[in-house]
Structure 1
Amino acid sequence: MKIRETGTRQQHNLRRARIGCVILKKNVTFTMGIRFSRWLVGCGVAIAFGVLSPSVTWANPQLNALLEQGNEQLTNRNFAQAVQHYRQALTLEANNARIHGALGYALSQLGNYSEAVTAYRRATELEDDNAEFFNALGFNLAQSGDNRSAINAYQRATQLQPNNLAYSLGLATVQFRAGDYDQALVAYRKVLAKDSNNTMALQNSLTSLLQLGRNQEAAVLFPDLLRQRPNDAELRIKAAVTWFGLNDRDQAIAFLEEARRLSTRDSAMQIRVGKIYETQNLLPQAIAAYEQASFVDPQSREAFALYGSAAMKTEDYINAIIAYRALTELSPTDPAAFYNFAVALQGRRRSREALEALEMARDLYQQRGDRRGVNITESLMAAIEEG
């Protein structure tokens, strides 16, 4: 009777774990770090509970006890204790794939990916038709930084279960991380064929296409992504780069301005947009973005330096003076800031102020032992005095 009660309880837990696994597969989320531990938790518990059959107990009472204790610790997320129990169990039953799989799962949850790889690799040797094990092996290999081996493991998982969305997504994401953009696209398209609104598949397909210079194909993916992420400034920047590649400057500018609007209080984002404008020789737009960046973060040396530089390129000396004056206040020991400030002042024929700034620049160059800087500064001073 006791065995039957234990089996019934484990059967309930196993059913619950498997249900959780299915649910988590649908909601799997990835970042560039391939975070799919939420999915792994659900499936790992199912594997771990499968160590001890719901209806059959092992002949060895000591093994039964160790596995029950390991499963209980796993359920309670006491992974270090679970590892101890499973390792002891393996001394009694060394060739059981399920015990190796449970050990691998517990090790993975502790962040010990290299040892988890060893456990899952042994599990796959003992059960070479178990897609769950190959999937878990792929995850831990990827977390260990061995993307090539991870790809092989995921490919085996997808061969065993070609219709499993999570496995295809895992394969695609590791291929993407490894820079295999062509192969990642193939895998992501399989995901999108089953789940056309999968945001991660859409985003990484998009990035893969952009990396491959296939802008026309990338453009097709944007409508769905833009609709799904109406407040994503980063996505608008990618869209802008795509449309610049398609020589549609007006649409690209519209995307960049939308990105700016979505991040008006983000100095770093304003700088990014400004740099894109500058590479496209759209200097008035770049100046506006850099000016906004300096307004949001008045301590940003980078923002003021870029602001001043872009203004000088268009001979917008008033904005250049504003930018470089602020930069000299933020960097009072930077001779280049004073030199550029002087050039901007001279652009407005403010010679006396320009000479004062150049004297400061020369002194700072001398303090640094920068003879070339001193010579350039003195040459400009002489030209102003002669003119």
Structure 2
Amino acid sequence: MTVDPASVFAAAVQAGDWAAADRALDALLYTDPDNPVLHYNRGLVCRRMGRLAEAVAAHDAVLARAPDHANAAFERASCLLDLGRLEDAAAGFGDYLKQVPEDPDARLNRARIALRLGRPDDALRDLNGLDDSGPAIRLARAESLRDLRRLDEAETLLAPSPGDDPGFRAAALKLRTQGPAGRLRLDEET
């Protein structure tokens, strides 16, 4: 009886057995080496296994075969970010955002990269129009404003509200006490 690699792959993914999923993808790619979906799945599996450079290569293979594959562009940029290749990751998220311009995750990721690269203007541009009700966007916007020395605006975003969790308050405290361009008040009563 012949074992179907596609079934093995599906079962391995379901079980979280990434090594078995990788082996099944080897068999599938052997018979269909130009299939962008298989290369995309290879990228996802490699990332799960911590093989980030291989994941980037797999997503490059997808984009060589299907240049408009938005998910591959996002995943490639995410892997580059995890590898610490900030400029490449920012460019990758930029490529993705040309296809999906309103994706809040990609815009937030690119804004965080801009902050790490000391470009708060770029970060704020990416955050414009995003809903501040989420703590990650609120903190990134406050950090951008802090680094632009727009301290009163940053303070407003960091002021506690009833729905804030302890994690947000700890991150807000850290943001108040660190940064290259000014310190914010430590009292949370603004």
* TM-score grouping bracket, smaller chain normalisation: 0.7 to 0.9
Matched residues in 1 for 2:148 and 2:65: separation?
42
Equivalent pair of 1:169/1:201 in contact (CA under 8 Å):
yes
Equivalent pair of 1:219/1:242 in contact (CA under 8 Å):
yes
**Count of matched residue positions in the alignment of Structure 1 and Structure 2:** 183
Tell me what 2:35 maps to: 164
Does residue 300 in structure 1 map to residue 168 in structure 2?
no
The 3 A distance-change label for structure 1 pair 276 and 177 is farther
Which of these residues, 44, 47, 51, is aligned with residue 173 of structure 1? 44
For residue 271 of structure 1, report the CA deviation from its aligned partner.
Answer: 4.1
Which secondary structure state, in structure 1, belongs to the residue aligned with residue 67 of structure 2? coil
Unmatched tracts of structure 1, length 5 or more: 1-94, 98-122, 124-132, 323-387
For residue 167 of structure 1, report the CA deviation from its aligned partner.
Answer: 1.4
For residue 306 of structure 1, report the CA deviation from its aligned partner.
Answer: 6.0
Matched residues in 2 for 1:206 and 1:193: separation?
15
Tell me what 2:135 maps to: 268
Tell me what 2:85 maps to: 214
Which secondary structure state, in structure 1, belongs to the residue aligned with residue 34 of structure 2? coil
The 3 A distance-change label for structure 1 pair 316 and 182 is closer
State the one-letter code of the partner of 1:315: R
More helix by share: 1
State the one-letter code of the partner of 1:134: P
Matched residues in 1 for 2:73 and 2:123: separation?
20
Tell me what 1:376 maps to: none
RMSD: 3.2
The 3 A distance-change label for structure 1 pair 299 and 227 is same
The 3 A distance-change label for structure 1 pair 283 and 309 is farther
Report the TM-score when normalising by structure 2.
0.78
Which of these residues, 274, 288, 310, is aligned with residue 156 of structure 2? 288
* Percent identity (aligned): 21
Which secondary structure state, in structure 2, belongs to the residue aligned with residue 300 of structure 1? coil
For residue 286 of structure 1, report the CA deviation from its aligned partner.
Answer: 4.0
Equivalent residues in 2 for 1:80-99, closer than 5 Å: 95=1, 97=2
Decide which moves more: 140-149 or 181-190. Answer: 140-149
The one of the two structures with greater contact order (alpha-carbon pairs below 8 A, sep at least 6) is: 2
Q: Which has the larger radius of gyration?
A: 1
Equivalent pair of 1:134/1:154 in contact (CA under 8 Å):
yes
The 3 A distance-change label for structure 1 pair 248 and 272 is closer
Equivalent pair of 1:176/1:204 in contact (CA under 8 Å):
no
Equivalent pair of 1:283/1:310 in contact (CA under 8 Å):
no
The 3 A distance-change label for structure 1 pair 156 and 229 is same
For residue 160 of structure 1, report the CA deviation from its aligned partner.
Answer: 1.9
Which secondary structure state, in structure 2, belongs to the residue aligned with residue 251 of structure 1? helix
Which secondary structure state, in structure 2, belongs to the residue aligned with residue 321 of structure 1? coil
Matched residues in 1 for 2:48 and 2:102: separation?
25
The 3 A distance-change label for structure 1 pair 245 and 267 is closer
For residue 211 of structure 1, report the CA deviation from its aligned partner.
Answer: 0.7
Tell me what 1:352 maps to: none
For residue 155 of structure 1, report the CA deviation from its aligned partner.
Answer: 1.6
